[in-house]
Structure 1
C-alpha cells in the first residue's frame, strides 16, 4: 500500500521528487513561453519552487495514479471520439433521415470512482449517446439509436481508461 503521509517519506525521496517536478514545471513554463526569457528569472524560479512544493502536498511522491504515456496515447482517441460524436449529433439534427430509436442501456461501473467519473464524462461524447448518469453500481446511458454498437464502444473506452491508471499494489 502506498504511503500518503509526506512526513514519513525519506528526505532523499522528497528531494528527488521535488527536483523532478521542478524540472517538469520548468519545461512546461519554457514551452508555454516559447523559450528562455531572463527578465524575471528570480520570480519564475520562486514560482516554480512554490508550485513544486505545493504539488508535493497535493500529490505526494508515489501517489501519482496516471501513466503519462498511456494518457498521451488516450488523447488522440479522445479527440477522434469527440469529433465522431459531434458529427453524429450534427447528422441527426440536420439530416432527418438518420434513424433515431432511443433507449437506455446499463453499464457496470468500475470499483474506482475516478475511473467511473472519467468514463461518464466521456460517454456522452461517443457517437449515438445523449447522456450518462451514475446510479448506484451502474451507469445508465441514454442512446439515440439502440441498434448502434454503443456498448462495444463503451467497453473499448473502459479498457483505454483502465490502461491510463497505475495498478495499485496491495
Structure 2
C-alpha cells in the first residue's frame, strides 16, 4: 500500500510525465525501502474509510485554532497564558500515540513536548483553556481513524508540574 502511495506521489510530482518513470522507479523503490526500515509496519492499521472524516475534522479544527491564535496575538492586550500541561493518554503505544502527539503539534496553540509512558506533556499558548477536553477529542478522532476502543486513562504522573 505504501509503495502505491509513493508511486502516486511521484506521478503527481512529475505531472504524469512518462519520461520521469525511469528515474522515478528507482526513487520510489529507495524511498519505500528507507521508510520501511525507519518505520516498520506495526500492529495498528488506518481505516481508509475514516480518513476523509478525520482530515475534514483536522482541517476545520486547524482553521478555528489558527483564527483563535491570530486573534489573541493581534489583540491590543496579549490574551495568552503560556505554559505546560500534562495529559493522561488512553491511546496505545505506537502509531496511534505518535500520530496524536504530532497532530497536536500541528494544531495552532499547542506543541507536544514529551511522551513518557501514559502521559503527554504539552506546551500551550493559553493554559486557561480546557486542554484536556481538546486532547480527549483528538484522541477519540485518532482512535476512530485506527478502529480502536479507548481504554480508561490512568494518572501517569502522580505529581503535577503546572
TM-score (norm 2): 0.60
Q: d(CA) in 1 for partners of 2:71 and 2:138?
A: 23
1:84–1:126 contact (8 Å) kept in structure 2: no
Structure 1 stretches lacking a partner, 5+ long: 1-19
Partner of 1:17 in structure 2? none
Would you say 1:140 and 2:121 are equivalent positions?
yes
Question: What is the Cα-based RMSD across aligned positions, in Å?
Answer: 3.8
Q: d(CA) in 2 for partners of 1:138 and 1:67?
A: 25
Number of residue pairs the alignment of both structures matches: 144
Q: d(CA) in 2 for partners of 1:56 and 1:91?
A: 39
| Alignment match of 2:59 (pick from 69, 75, 79) | 79
Alpha-carbon offset, residue 160 of structure 1: 0.9
Q: d(CA) in 2 for partners of 1:53 and 1:135?
A: 29
Partner of 1:69 in structure 2? 49
The 1:45–1:78 alpha-carbon spacing in structure 2 relative to 1, beyond 3 Å, is same
Structure 2 stretches lacking a partner, 5+ long: 149-162
1:132–1:141 contact (8 Å) kept in structure 2: yes
TM-score (norm 1): 0.58
Q: d(CA) in 2 for partners of 1:23 and 1:92?
A: 43
Structure with greater Cα Rg: 1
Alpha-carbon offset, residue 51 of structure 1: 4.5
Q: d(CA) in 2 for partners of 1:97 and 1:60?
A: 48
Alpha-carbon offset, residue 78 of structure 1: 1.9
The 1:163–1:51 alpha-carbon spacing in structure 2 relative to 1, beyond 3 Å, is farther
